[in-house]
Structure 1
Amino acid sequence: MDCCIVSALWYFLVFYLLFHFLCFIFADADFTLLWASLVGHRPETKLKGLVVWITGASSGIGEELAYQLARCGSRLILSARREDELNRVKRCCLEQSNLQDEDIFVLPLDLLERASHEEKMKTAIQHFGHVDILINNGGRSQRSLFLETNVDVYQALMELNFLGTVSITKQVLPHMTKRGTGSIVTVSSVVGLAGAPLGTGYSASKHALQGFFNSLRTELTDYPELLISTVCPGPVQSQIVHNAFTEELNKPVATAGNQEYKMPTSRCVHLMLVGIANGIKEMWIAKQPFLLFNYAWQYTPTIAWFITNILGKKRVQNFKAGMDADSSYFTKPKTS
Structure 2
Amino acid sequence: MSWELLWALLLACALLYVGLQLVRFARADGDLTLLWAEWQGRRPEISNLKEKDILVLPLDLTDRGSHEVATKKVLQHFGQIDILVNNGGRSQRSLFEDTNLDVYKAIMELNFLGTISLTKCVLPHMIERKQGKIVTVSSILGLAAAPLASGYAASKHALHGFFNSLRCELVMHPEISITNICPGPVQSNIVHNAFTEEVSKKLENTGSQEYKMKTSRCVRLMLVAMANDLKEVWIAEQPYLSVCYIWQYAPTWAWWITSKLGRRRIENFKNGLDADSSYFRPLRKKTD
State the TM-score, normalizing by the size of structure 2: 0.89
Who is 2:3 aligned against?
A: none
Matched, 1:184 2:125: no
Matched, 1:299 2:252: no
Give percent identity, aligned residues only. 63
Partner SS for 2:55:
strand
Who is 1:138 aligned against?
A: 88
Query: Could you tell me how far apart the structure 2 residues matched to 1:26 and 1:145 are?
Result: 33
Query: Could you tell me how far apart the structure 2 residues matched to 1:18 and 1:33 are?
Result: 21
Who is 2:40 aligned against?
A: 39
Query: Could you tell me how far apart the structure 2 residues matched to 1:23 and 1:307 are?
Result: 23
Partner SS for 2:264:
helix
Deviates more, 1:316-325 or 1:256-265: 316-325
* Residues 24 and 30 in structure 1, CA contact (< 8 A), matched pair in contact too: no
Q: Which sections of structure 2, spanning at least 5 residues, go unmatched?
A: 1-13, 283-288
Query: Could you tell me how far apart the structure 1 residues matched to 2:18 and 2:169 are?
Result: 33
Query: Could you tell me how far apart the structure 2 residues matched to 1:125 and 1:14 are?
Result: 56
Note the aligned Cα RMSD (angstroms): 2.0
Question: Which residues of 2 match residues 315-330 of structure 1 at below 5 A?
Answer: 315-329=265-279
Instruction: Report how far residue 154 of structure 1 moved.
Output: 0.2
Seen in structure 2, the aligned counterparts of structure 1 residues 271 and 131 have a Cα distance that, compared at 3 Å, is: same
Query: Could you tell me how far apart the structure 1 residues matched to 2:196 and 2:170 are?
Result: 37
Query: Could you tell me how far apart the structure 2 residues matched to 1:20 and 1:36 are?
Result: 17
Instruction: Report how far residue 20 of structure 1 moved.
Output: 6.7
Give a deviation string over 1:294-320, Cα, whole Å, max 9, x none: 000011111111111111111111111
Alignment-mate amino acid for residue 145 of structure 1: L
Who is 1:264 aligned against?
A: 214
Instruction: Report how far residue 327 of structure 1 moved.
Output: 3.5
Match of 2:79 among 124, 129, 132: 129
Query: Could you tell me how far apart the structure 1 residues matched to 2:21 and 2:31 are?
Result: 9
Alignment-mate amino acid for residue 29 of structure 1: G
Seen in structure 2, the aligned counterparts of structure 1 residues 22 and 278 have a Cα distance that, compared at 3 Å, is: farther
Instruction: Report how far residue 265 of structure 1 moved.
Output: 0.8
Partner SS for 1:111:
coil
Instruction: Report how far residue 16 of structure 1 moved.
Output: 10
Instruction: Report how far residue 17 of structure 1 moved.
Output: 7.9
Question: Which residues of 2 match residues 1-336 of structure 1 at below 5 A?
Answer: 24-44=25-45, 72-73=46-47, 98-329=48-279
Query: Could you tell me how far apart the structure 2 residues matched to 1:34 and 1:106 are?
Result: 32
Instruction: Report how far residue 326 of structure 1 moved.
Output: 2.1
Query: Could you tell me how far apart the structure 1 residues matched to 2:239 and 2:226 are?
Result: 25
Alignment length (residue pairs): 269
Seen in structure 2, the aligned counterparts of structure 1 residues 18 and 118 have a Cα distance that, compared at 3 Å, is: farther
Which structure is higher in RCO with an 8 Å CA cutoff and minimum separation 6? 2
Seen in structure 2, the aligned counterparts of structure 1 residues 116 and 127 have a Cα distance that, compared at 3 Å, is: same
Who is 2:4 aligned against?
A: none
Seen in structure 2, the aligned counterparts of structure 1 residues 20 and 115 have a Cα distance that, compared at 3 Å, is: farther
Partner SS for 1:221:
helix
Seen in structure 2, the aligned counterparts of structure 1 residues 112 and 16 have a Cα distance that, compared at 3 Å, is: farther
Q: Which sections of structure 1, spanning at least 5 residues, go unmatched?
A: 1-12, 45-71, 74-97
Seen in structure 2, the aligned counterparts of structure 1 residues 16 and 304 have a Cα distance that, compared at 3 Å, is: farther
Seen in structure 2, the aligned counterparts of structure 1 residues 19 and 167 have a Cα distance that, compared at 3 Å, is: farther
Alignment-mate amino acid for residue 128 of structure 2: K
Query: Could you tell me how far apart the structure 1 residues matched to 2:137 and 2:190 are?
Result: 13
* Residues 33 and 283 in structure 1, CA contact (< 8 A), matched pair in contact too: yes
Seen in structure 2, the aligned counterparts of structure 1 residues 217 and 289 have a Cα distance that, compared at 3 Å, is: same
Seen in structure 2, the aligned counterparts of structure 1 residues 129 and 260 have a Cα distance that, compared at 3 Å, is: same
Query: Could you tell me how far apart the structure 2 residues matched to 1:157 and 1:148 are?
Result: 16
* Residues 92 and 151 in structure 2, CA contact (< 8 A), matched pair in contact too: yes
* Residues 239 and 280 in structure 2, CA contact (< 8 A), matched pair in contact too: no
